[in-house]
């Protein structure tokens, strides 16, 4: 009687242990992917997710004894309220261990306090306003910052005979960062800013802005627009308004010649000089492997762009940090593992700066050329180990 009682208690205790600490939760690391999957910025989510899938295709879905699972959520565009709500849902309902993704700055900024409060590592795979990483100690960024890619272009432009520039930027975080960084570095080099306009983030109508740029008679226009469809519309207007014929050059951050839309932008982009951290034409073994993995995981219709490369590198950062923590998802342990991490990326070597948790990388100066029938950003100059200059 006594024995039976003890056995019964043991069985009950074992059953309780199983339900109290679900075995599945322990063996799975869940990544809550918050990005833009519909609306005019839908490509951002697709590219980031495509890059993540490419990494998993190449490295498998298990690391440090844990199975990696992605739970995907759509912000539908620049929607801070939705992004914040999705982050809350992912943490409380889906019990995710990481928050990842973030194409647009407003979405990343909205989620930063959630990451802090819930103590969840947040891996930024695009959003590129400088200030983002300062908004939570649990953020690490593997993409870029606008000042980081802009400053080298301003210096290159002055050295190459451009003395008067008119700036055209998208009127929100990354655009304002680009405008400030270009102005500061170009003036410091000895150049003059003859004017500038800020265009709306949503549905910009470029004709009046391009006309104003033309009327200011600069030697060049410096441009930042968020990657994707807007670049196609801008280039069309630039051509229609005859700026090239008027002798006005165009220089830009590589967002505009994003590999995902470059072919659709067509010949008006030939010769366009940009500065950036990733080109699909980058000549390295790592990039070849990335392009192959991307095609294997996503098909060959679309060329991966810088957001795909950051999605891929973000996964590398997560896998490597989990190896270091032996599978622990403790946020402080993960952040400790990420700080100072070096990754051989498809873009070249990158480091997650130990102090700022922001990416340090090579910035390339590139020119659009036709290569094997397609348009590509061909790198012809580079500056190694560029940090975000604001930090």
Considering the complex, what minimum distance in angstroms separates the CB of residue 242 from ligand PHB?
27
Task: Pick the closer one to ligand PHB by CB: 105 or 148.
Answer: 105
Considering the complex, what minimum distance in angstroms separates the CB of residue 196 from ligand PHB?
18
Task: Pick the closer one to ligand PHB by CB: 111 or 334.
Answer: 111
Task: Pick the closer one to ligand PHB by CB: 138 or 276.
Answer: 276
Considering the complex, what minimum distance in angstroms separates the CB of residue 230 from ligand PHB?
9
Task: Pick the closer one to ligand PHB by CB: 154 or 310.
Answer: 310
- Return the C-alpha torsion angle 84, 81, 36, 365, nearest 10: -90
Strands (DSSP E) found in 266-390: 273-276, 342-345, 348-352, 359-371, 374-386
Full DSSP string of 125-176: SS---GGGGGG-TTEEE-S--HHHHHHHHHHHHHHTT--EEEEEEESSHHHH
Q: How many C-beta atoms surround the C-beta of residue 191 within 10 A?
A: 21
Considering the complex, what minimum distance in angstroms separates the CB of residue 175 from ligand PHB?
8
Task: Pick the closer one to ligand PHB by CB: 36 or 379.
Answer: 36
Task: Pick the closer one to ligand PHB by CB: 175 or 218.
Answer: 175
Considering the complex, what minimum distance in angstroms separates the CB of residue 36 from ligand PHB?
9
Task: Pick the closer one to ligand PHB by CB: 69 or 171.
Answer: 171
Full DSSP string of 133-144: GGG-TTEEE-S-
Task: Pick the closer one to ligand PHB by CB: 227 or 334.
Answer: 227
For residue 70, the cross-strand partners are 31
The phi, psi pair for 237, rounded to 5°, reads -65, -40
Task: Supply the Cα-derived Rg of the chain in whole angstroms.
Answer: 23
Residues that bind ligand PHB (CB under 6 A): 103-105, 126-129, 173-174, 226-227, 255
The phi, psi pair for 341, rounded to 5°, reads -65, 135
* C-alpha to C-alpha distance for 67 and 329, rounded to whole angstroms: 12
Full DSSP string of 213-226: HHHT--SEEEEE--
Of the chain, the end-to-end C-alpha distance in Å amounts to: 72
- Kind of pairing between the strands at 66-74 and 28-35: parallel
Considering the complex, what minimum distance in angstroms separates the CB of residue 12 from ligand PHB?
54
Considering the complex, what minimum distance in angstroms separates the CB of residue 77 from ligand PHB?
11
Considering the complex, what minimum distance in angstroms separates the CB of residue 229 from ligand PHB?
11
């Amino acid at each position: 009687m006594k024995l039976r009682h003890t056995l019964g208690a043991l069985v009950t205790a074992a059953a309780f242990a199983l339900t109290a600490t679900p075995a599945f939760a322990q063996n799975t690391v869940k990544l809550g992917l918050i990005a833009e999957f519909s609306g005019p910025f839908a490509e951002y989510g697709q590219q980031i997710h495509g890059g993540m899938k490419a990494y998993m295709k190449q490295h498998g879905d298990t690391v440090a004894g844990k199975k990696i699972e992605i739970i995907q959520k759509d912000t539908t565009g620049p929607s801070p309220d939705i992004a914040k709500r999705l982050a809350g849902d992912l943490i409380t309902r889906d019990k995710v261990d990481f928050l990842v993704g973030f194409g647009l700055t407003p979405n990343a900024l909205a989620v930063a306090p959630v990451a802090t409060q819930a103590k969840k590592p947040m891996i930024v795979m695009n959003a590129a306003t400088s200030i983002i990483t300062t908004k939570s100690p649990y953020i690490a960024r593997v993409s870029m910052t606008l000042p980081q890619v802009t400053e080298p272009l301003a210096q290159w432009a002055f050295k190459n005979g451009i003395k008067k520039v008119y700036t055209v930027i998208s009127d929100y975080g990354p655009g304002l960062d680009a405008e400030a960084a270009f102005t500061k570095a170009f003036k410091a080099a000895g150049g003059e800013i003859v004017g500038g306009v800020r265009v709306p983030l949503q549905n910009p109508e470029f004709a009046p802005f391009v006309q104003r740029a033309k009327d200011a008679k600069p030697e060049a226009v410096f441009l930042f627009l968020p990657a994707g469809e807007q670049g196609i519309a801008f280039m069309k207007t630039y051509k229609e308004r005859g700026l090239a014929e008027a002798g006005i050059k165009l220089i830009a951050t590589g967002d505009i010649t994003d590999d995902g839309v470059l072919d659709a932008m067509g010949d008006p982009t030939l010769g366009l000089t940009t500065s950036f951290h990733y080109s699909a034409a980058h000549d390295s073994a790592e990039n070849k492997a990335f392009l192959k993995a991307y095609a294997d995981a996503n098909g060959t219709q679309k060329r991966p762009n810088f957001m795909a490369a950051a999605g891929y590198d973000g996964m590398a950062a997560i896998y490597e940090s989990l190896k270091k923590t032996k599978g622990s998802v403790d946020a402080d342990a993960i952040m400790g593992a990420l700080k100072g991490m070096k990754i051989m990326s498809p873009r070249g070597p990158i480091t997650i700066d130990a102090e700022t948790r922001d990416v340090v990388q090579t910035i390339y100066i590139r020119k659009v050329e036709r290569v094997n029938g397609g348009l590509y950003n061909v790198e012809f100059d580079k500056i190694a180990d560029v940090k975000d200059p604001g930090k």
